[in-house]
Amino acid sequence: MGDKVFIKNQFGLELVHGTPVAAAHRLTGSVTMGKDRTPRFPEDATGRRGGAVRSVVEQIHADAIRIAHPAGAYFEALPAIFSIGLVGGVVPVEQTAGEGDYLWDFTPDLTADNEPDSITLEIGDNTQAYQIPYVMARRIVIEGNVGESAAVNVEAECFGKEILPAAFTPGIEIPEMDSMVANLARIRFADDWAGLATAEVVTGLLRKYRVEILTGVHPKFWAEGVKTMTGHGEGMIAAAWTLTFEGNEDADAIWDAFRGETPRAIRLELLGAQIGEGETSLLQIDTYGKFEEVLPLGEEQDGNNLHTGVFAGMDDNDETTPHMLGLQVITSTGTIGAIASP
């Protein structure tokens, strides 16, 4: 009998997209597998009341795979999630400010291919393990609620090739986990992308934040004699922020920017829970764009009126290097699961 307490998730970074590899890293979040096929039962004209006499599976594709962190996200899981949706092959830079800490830059190139990675997932319990090769992320969400004693939630909506019976790769240790805490957030605003480097932290403003990134990564099917996907593509990258602000003068200035269709650059910084103990974990998200909606008095909490806003990412139309989304991570993780043999 399968026991919930024995559920575990592991993954390995694929050397060749779609070719399964052994796991090299544990993922302590939850993984929902979804399904990879839907049999169809044709209603043939049989002249009998018994219904279908055949079934057919016309396509095999693992979709609606969801990687989430109901117990709270942690920084060490981020490089794998961002590498399978945004930029692959990233080599982190070891930081001199924090021994053993690494800077990962997943800022996508807007004028070239970003060649995201793919992973082989292993999911299961004490009864059965399952394997999903060619897993990539089409959507990533980061959200937190300040003042609610809450963790940051990070989710990735993924797809993969197919679901296969398997056995767990043994000996994979539980990783280090520096927790992501919703309260440990800071926000900065600038008039343009370059201004983010010197923008000051805005205090007394941000109450809730949700950043949704559509990676543009999608599966491709060609007539190659198989029912599964045999490739993937990179489409448009999009970023949308949903924010809740204290209803103060800074919030009114944001409303003015919305009414004037004024472009802004925003930076959200999420600090590690152990930052006071020598750790320097960080998630930094930058986006250039415009507010597509700002609602004064959009919410109320504890007698305080709050503004709500939606910020849409846009290309800043820089002739040399266009910008829309920037994403950097500092964590103790220096690898995204070693490449291993199946």
pLDDT, tens digit, 9 for 90 and up, residues 4-48: 899 999 999 999 999 999 999 999 999 999 899 999 999 999 999
Would you state the pLDDT for residue 99?
57
Residue 233 predicted with pLDDT over 80: yes
pLDDT at 175 (0 to 100):
87
What is the pTM assigned to this prediction?
0.93
Q: Of 252, 192, 215, 185, nearest to 84 (Cα)?
A: 215
Q: What is the pLDDT of residues 252-288, one digit of tens each?
A: 999 999 999 999 999 999 998 765 555 578 999 999 9
Quote the Cα angle for 41-47-50, to 5°.
50
pLDDT of residue 268: 98
What is residue 127's predicted lDDT score, i.e. its pLDDT? 93
Task: Give the per-residue pLDDT at 97.
Answer: 61
Q: Could you report the per-residue pLDDT of 80-102, keeping only the tens digit for each?
A: 999 999 999 999 998 876 556 89
Residue range 59-79: average pLDDT? Answer: 93
- Residue 342, pLDDT > 60, answer no
Residue 339 has pLDDT above 80, yes or no: no
pLDDT in tens, 296-315: 987 777 878 899 999 999 99
pLDDT digits (tens, 9 = 90+) for 149-203: 999 999 999 999 999 999 999 999 998 889 999 999 999 999 999 999 999 999 9
Q: What pLDDT is recorded for position 86?
A: 97
